[in-house]
Amino acid sequence: MIKNFLKIITYNLLVLLITILIIEIFFGGWFRKDNLGAYFREHRMKKIPYKINYDGNEHEFVYLRNYYGFIGEEIEPKDIHSVFIGGSTADERWKPRHFSIVEQINKKLAKDSIDIRITNAGIEGQSTVGYIANFKFWFPKLKEFNPKFFIFYTGINELLRQDYNTFDYSDGHAKLITNDKRDLLADTIKSKSIFYDSLRKTKHKYYTREKSIFMDLDASIKKYPFSEYSKKVLKGKNYNYLNFNNTMKEKNMENLVEKEKYFINFYLKNIDTLANYSKEYSAIPIFINQATAFGAHIEKHLILNYSLKKHCIDKKYYCIDLAGELDGKLEYWYDGVHTTPLGSKIIADEIYPLLKKMLQ
């Protein structure tokens, strides 16, 4: 009796296992070139509630990344017109999405009755190396993905890079395959299993974690002027923003560029790579430089923006000199790099007129 029972159990388990294997083989991503893979898994189907205190008001919202990895609601790759690429200053996960630079530009486009919408592909931590990784590991796997424009919001994260010779593609906290056999097995299953993918889809659609992540932007803004970094950069003086264009006129920029030639050559080579990748999609690249709360006080950033402007002229790239036009104020940033809702609005206002002409 027991033997018969065990046989039935074993038989049923075997049938179940074979059925699962058949479903996985035919419907999973085991043999599909367009499987998004382990590299990008951590940037898809995100649904994180946040609560922020800003300007005396409390805002509750949910940070969304859709099935294909873009910020916001679901959209098919074939319907994407323009893509905004950047690091955390483009991602802007710590504020309600309607306060972000991208969404404020989209609002202006809608107000002007321009039937164009920009899709946000920002990922925290990405520099130009991370942007290149997008073109290697993400975008080629999106069916019928043919945007008209790639907009690169670039500069700040380059300042964190020390190595100008290697490409490990770890920018943006990329989930790279490791040599560890257990990690490799887990990555393979999670990336290619139809059952795991379906489970994540269901969870993404119906589940949101109950506890919100709280950020007090008011407290950050009040603390910022007295931070050790700002004292070091601003030499202990009261806050003052140095405009990039004005500072460039006062300094011997060619000498400064020569001092940082390896850094600049690496950066501009990446810019050319991104332009070439964009052209493979028959898309137009647009490069927008960046500013921080310190403005041109950071000499390396001054050199970077100067070199990009000059390179855009030489290569005839579409570029927007945000940093050169911006007159920064303390309340535009809450930690020296990331913008407050007001700062994002000001940046969107600065970018929009020229970007509007380019997109049309």
What digits encode the pLDDT tens for the residues 161-209? 776 665 655 565 555 555 566 766 666 676 677 666 667 667 656 666 7
How much is the pLDDT for 360?
87
Distances from the Cα of 311 to the Cα of 24, 279, 305, angstroms: 49, 17, 10
Each of the 360 residues of the chain gets a pLDDT tens digit; together they read 676 767 777 776 777 677 766 666 666 656 566 556 655 667 888 888 999 888 888 999 999 999 899 999 999 999 999 999 999 999 999 999 999 999 999 999 999 999 999 999 999 988 998 899 899 889 998 999 999 999 999 999 999 877 666 565 556 555 555 556 676 666 667 667 766 666 766 765 666 676 778 888 877 777 765 566 666 666 656 778 899 999 999 999 999 999 999 999 999 999 999 999 999 999 999 999 999 998 999 999 999 999 999 999 999 999 999 999 999 998 899 888 999 999 999 999 999 999 999 998
Q: Quote the CATH superfamily of domain 33-359.
A: SGNH hydrolase (3.40.50.1110)
CB 161 within 8 A of CB 129: yes
How much is the pLDDT for 354?
97
Predicted TM-score (pTM) of the model is 0.85
How much is the pLDDT for 28?
62
Sequence-ordered alpha helix ranges (H) in the chain: 2-27, 37-41, 88-91, 101-111, 128-133, 181-192, 194-206, 217-223, 228-233, 244-250, 253-259, 261-280, 299-315, 322-325, 341-359
Distances from the Cα of 308 to the Cα of 70, 102, 166, angstroms: 27, 22, 21
Angle 216-220-225 from CA coordinates, rounded to 5°: 165
Alpha carbon distance 95, 136 (integer Å): 29
CB 335 within 8 A of CB 218: no
* DSSP code string of 158-205: GGG---SS-----TTT-----S-HHHHHHHHHHHH-HHHHHHHHHHHH
What digits encode the pLDDT tens for the residues 102-154? 999 999 999 999 999 999 999 998 899 889 989 988 999 899 999 999 999 99
